[in-house]
Structure 1
């Protein structure tokens, strides 16, 4: 029987789907370094990058029964999977940071009357909901810009995107959030009500 490293990707995947763990080991050996390089480059952190690669390969193993490649080969699929996963990790990282800095507003809210606290909380929920409805990459760019104050250039360098792509994400975010009528109503209501109290 030939050694696993002599199999092509398609043959490996056929074995992989029969619960052959050696096929997964070969996929790991074949693509680990490339995936790790992409993840380290995007995340700037070796430990997070290693976890990212392990997560992608673990997910691939979990989905082995139903896994099928469309037009792309395994290499392209894994490159896309690791890129998407690093975006998720970056988003979680930025969300954690924004939650930490996210307000000494808790002190402000505690100083408000119960009615104002309720309004403030509803407004915050509306804003969060509107931001959550943005596409993942668009949302990440928006959060990096608004929560961390990063410039278009800094975001482009961090995410390895062109500045034009970052600008179009910010434009889309502003447009989508501006079109969110629930959010606008909540903002107007909160402004009027808080000024009357």
Structure 2
């Protein structure tokens, strides 16, 4: 009978392919406490931490024929696997809590009601009006940046301005547009979030 305690991690990984479950028992004995500590540190729940470690070891055993270690030690691999499994558990816990609280993700809310489409059109008109009310040079810089997608440097070269001047125009344009649409934006979004 083979005593797996005398073998290193690389050897254990090779022995796993034989299907001898005593190899998994040896890995369990070597790393259970460390894996449990990592899982418990992340999850804060002993039962979930134990389940997490068991899941990682089960997955390792299922992958035994294709599993290999490059440079990392088995301990590092297992710690990463436990960390990732912990994140999965935390994600599942979060989704279950949201579901229990009646949370509806934003993508499941119908945003295409006639009222909202009207509001979006009004906001677009307000933005266009704010852009047209900008000083000529400022409006040109803003249009080249937002509508044509030119960089600050490209705009500066095209209009023979310094990059700092272009940045100043963009800052002013953003501020003016925000100020001209702030009230409408507030009116739009407050009812959406309090429905």
Q: Normalising by the residue count of structure 1, what TM-score does the alignment of the two structures yield? A: 0.52
1:101 aligns with 2:101: yes
1:59 aligns with 2:59: yes
The residue that corresponds to 1:17 in the other structure is 17
Spell out, residue by residue over 1:112-152, the C-alpha distance to the aligned partner (whole angstroms, 9 max, x if none): xxxx96948xxxxxxxxxxxxxxxxxxxxxxxxxxxxxxxx
Which one has a bigger Cα radius of gyration? 2
Q: Normalising by the residue count of structure 2, what TM-score does the alignment of the two structures yield? A: 0.53
Quote the offset at 1:3 in angstroms.
2.1
Q: Which runs of 5+ in 2 are unaligned?
A: 114-187
The residue that corresponds to 1:81 in the other structure is 81
Spell out, residue by residue over 1:42-97, the C-alpha distance to the aligned partner (whole angstroms, 9 max, x if none): 10101100000000000000000111112211111001000011011001101111
Q: Distance in 2 between matches of 1:22 and 1:36?
A: 20
The residue that corresponds to 2:38 in the other structure is 38
Please tell me whether the aligned partners of residues 36 and 49 of structure 2 are also in contact (alpha carbons under 8 angstroms): yes
Q: Distance in 1 between matches of 2:62 and 2:75?
A: 18
Q: Which runs of 5+ in 1 are unaligned?
A: 110-115, 121-190
Q: Distance in 2 between matches of 1:100 and 1:89?
A: 16
The residue that corresponds to 1:152 in the other structure is none
Task: Give the superposed CA RMSD.
Answer: 3.1
Spell out, residue by residue over 1:4-24, the C-alpha distance to the aligned partner (whole angstroms, 9 max, x if none): 211111111111111111111
